Amino acid sequence: MSGRISVPSNYLTLWCCYLLNYLCFQISVYLCTSGMGEVILGMPGQWAHDYREKADHYTSKIGGLPDWPDLDIPVSGKLLLCDLCGGKLCLMAQIYAPLSMAERSIDERVIYVLGCMKKDCGSNPQSWRVLRLQRCKQDIESKDEPLKAEQPEEESTSVAEDKPTSQSSSVKVCDDEDSDSDIDLDDLAQALEQAATLASNSKKQDGTKHTRKIVEGPVAKKLIYDLTTPVLPCFYIYSQRNSSEGRMDKANFVGGSSISLKEIEKSSGNESEGESWEGEAYEYDKALGADRTYLKFKKQLDAYPEQCFRYSYGGNALFPVANVPKPGACKICGSARRFELQLMPPLLYFLQEASDDSSNFSIDGWTWLTIIIFTCPKNCCSGTCDEKSGNSCRCIVEEEAIVIQDD
């Protein structure tokens, strides 16, 4: 339904705010900047209404279909096929991970983790593929950039009034079609949805003019017409910082213990003679089936039992076993890859819960304890991106994933 409305701008502002609240948010993940070594956890959020629904590439989600941003060259088919069986890979996780480094900041950087669902491939680490898609930004001050972060209120105001001032002209609804007060209803709704999607972005303070690309499509969530790719149940992710130790003690609480501290003090009092516990020394944790490394891994998991992934750019991974193969070197620049994030087992549990309803794929083939993803520390490009093509070049680089199995 499309229509042109001509309403006074203050009514429109109110209605925009109302619509903003009414729309179903898919919250994109803009986590707080992490310092070196700080860990950000991806916690499970809302389920998608339909597993094939389209988000944008600023969203972090698990399952569903990958949201590719506007690419000059579409993603090559070879990257989306399994190495072992040749079948199509399905999206396991799509994580929006921009970086701010000293020399440059990469805002549009997304990591896609793809896996094969066939029974035999699932347990083989070669069937996993990690793609890093980033936009090589050469020139910040360009006009051709798509919309960067904007405050929702400000954007709605500027959409409503469409005044050509230096700041509010950062959003231009349509290039030449609109007058000042007539606004295409669909474009308005799209603008609001985009604003909702980018709701937690920080604003670029440079005040440059941005022109926004019109997002094609209706207001309701669009589905991706891809019936050939296997699809996992889809849910969105919100972020949480890994907080302090206090949480862990609470998590270790074992309810219903029949021991109280007073009883212990009493029992330690009446010891019979000749029995004194001597010669005890410090002992590391050990259980029959679990060694010390695994118990530390489990302790971190118990602090936040629902964590789906741990993100710590350049930090340390949490290894459940002692001997983990070292990551290789980047194929383009040759530098040793660095840890970026790892997927955790509660993710499999959530997917399995959802798949019980429509059991048409084998998640049970997956028995990994964690998938650790290493990326190139220099965020290099694939070399086809040169100065001439300007700043709209996007590269897809394949990164490395180490799969640790749960035997």
Q: Which positions from 32 through 71 interact with another protein, judged by CB under 8 A? A: 32-36, 40, 44-47, 50, 52, 60
The sign of the torsion formed by the CA atoms of 14, 18, 21, 25 equals negative
Residues 181-200 contacting another protein, CB under 8 A: 196, 199-200
Is residue 401 a contact residue for another protein (CB under 8 A)?
A: no
Nearer to another protein, 367 or 382 (CB): 367
Alpha-carbon distance of 268 to 68, in angstroms, equals 65
What are the C-alpha distances in Å from 260 to residues 148, 249, 251, 277, 396?
57, 17, 18, 21, 58
Cα–Cα nearest to 94, from 343, 386, 356, 268: 343
- Binding-residue pattern over the window 99 to 138 for another protein, x denoting contact by CB under 8 A: xxxxx-------------xxx-------------------
Q: Please compute Rg for the chain using Cα positions.
A: 25
Residues 66-105 contacting another protein, CB under 8 A: 87, 95-103
Nearer to another protein, 51 or 68 (CB): 51
- Decide if 239 contacts 29 (C-beta within 8 A): yes
Is residue 322 a contact residue for another protein (CB under 8 A)?
A: no
Least CB distance to another protein at residue 80 (A)? 15
CA 390 centroid distance within chain: 28
Nearer to another protein, 8 or 265 (CB): 265
Q: What would the two tokens of residue 369 be?
A: 């304890």
- Decide if 84 contacts 51 (C-beta within 8 A): no
Q: What would the two tokens of residue 10 be?
A: 């203050």
Nearer to another protein, 33 or 126 (CB): 33
Least CB distance to another protein at residue 154 (A)? 9
**Residues ≥6 apart with Cβ < 8 Å to 125:** 401, 402, 403
Least CB distance to another protein at residue 113 (A)? 15
Nearer to another protein, 138 or 229 (CB): 229
- Binding-residue pattern over the window 278 to 317 for another protein, x denoting contact by CB under 8 A: xxxxxx-xxxxxx---xx--x--x---xx----xxxxx--
Is residue 268 a contact residue for another protein (CB under 8 A)?
A: yes
Nearer to another protein, 181 or 293 (CB): 293
